[in-house]
Amino acid sequence: MEEEHMREPLLEKKQYYEDCPGCKVEQENELNEGVSIIKLLIIWMVVLSATLPTSSLFPFLYFMVRDFNVAKEEADISYYAGYIGSSYMLGRCFTAVLWGMVSDRYGRKPVLIMGIIAVVIFNTLFGLSTGFWMAIATRFLLGGLNGVLGPVKAYATELFSRRAPSYRTFYC
């Protein structure tokens, strides 16, 4: 009797909990054999929309700071533009770990949705900024509330890590 019990693998028994987001992902991975093109496209769109605010401001930032009339000389415009550009990364630096913990606790989808909504709202407010400090504040809040990149990377690894993709296993 003991020999039969010892032959049974310990890792084969899977116990799923009702409210566990990770359990839902594992169950879905066991049911689906291929790689979903739709999920891949969703990940691509989320990453694109989350990273667009990082670099899209640099072509017009010089002119924006010039119109704020903050710089005393033309050479100082780039100095103030650097503050606006770096405030986004400062906000991300303070909250990246927090967004990762929230996504582990409550699931990836709520964090991704909140991040995309924050990108839409604060990127629009940044474009409508009327002063230097408003631009810095909106960029900082945009970076702080945009906790998308960490959870989307974790979501992608959960979806695609256990499969060896081939051109025959794709499905929609």
What SS3 string covers 92-117?
HHHHHHHHHHHHHHHCHHHHHHHHHH
Tell me, yes or no, whether 18 lies in a domain.
no
Alpha helix ranges (H) inside 20-131: 21-31, 37-55, 58-68, 77-106, 108-127
User: Could you tell me if residue 172 is inside a domain?
Assistant: no
Give which of 124, 43, 110, 41 is closest to 147, Cα–Cα.
110
Closest by CA to 144, choosing from 88, 86, 73, 68, is 88
Residue 17 lies in a domain: no
34 pLDDT band, cuts 50/70/90, is low
More confident residue, 20 or 136: 136
Residue 137: pLDDT above 90?
yes
Q: Confirm whether 41 is domain-assigned.
A: yes
For residue 169, pLDDT over 60 is answered with no
Q: Is residue 55 part of a domain?
A: yes
Please give the mean pLDDT across all residues of the chain: 83
Residue 102 pLDDT > 60, yes or no? Answer: yes
Q: So what's the pLDDT on residue 32?
A: 67
Give the pLDDT band of residue 93 (cuts 50, 70, 90).
very high
pTM of the model: 0.75
Which of 8-12, 18-22, 50-54, 96-100 tops mean pLDDT? 96-100
Domain count, the chain: 1
- Residue 73 resides in a domain: yes
Q: Does residue 55 surpass a pLDDT of 50?
A: yes
Q: CA distances (Å), 139 to each of 36, 50, 72, 83, 165, in order?
A: 34, 13, 23, 10, 39
Rounded mean pLDDT, 19-33: 71
| 69 located within any domain | yes
Least confident of 50-54, 136-140, 154-158: 154-158
Identify the domain containing residue 107 by its residue range. 35-162
Residue 26 lies in a domain: no
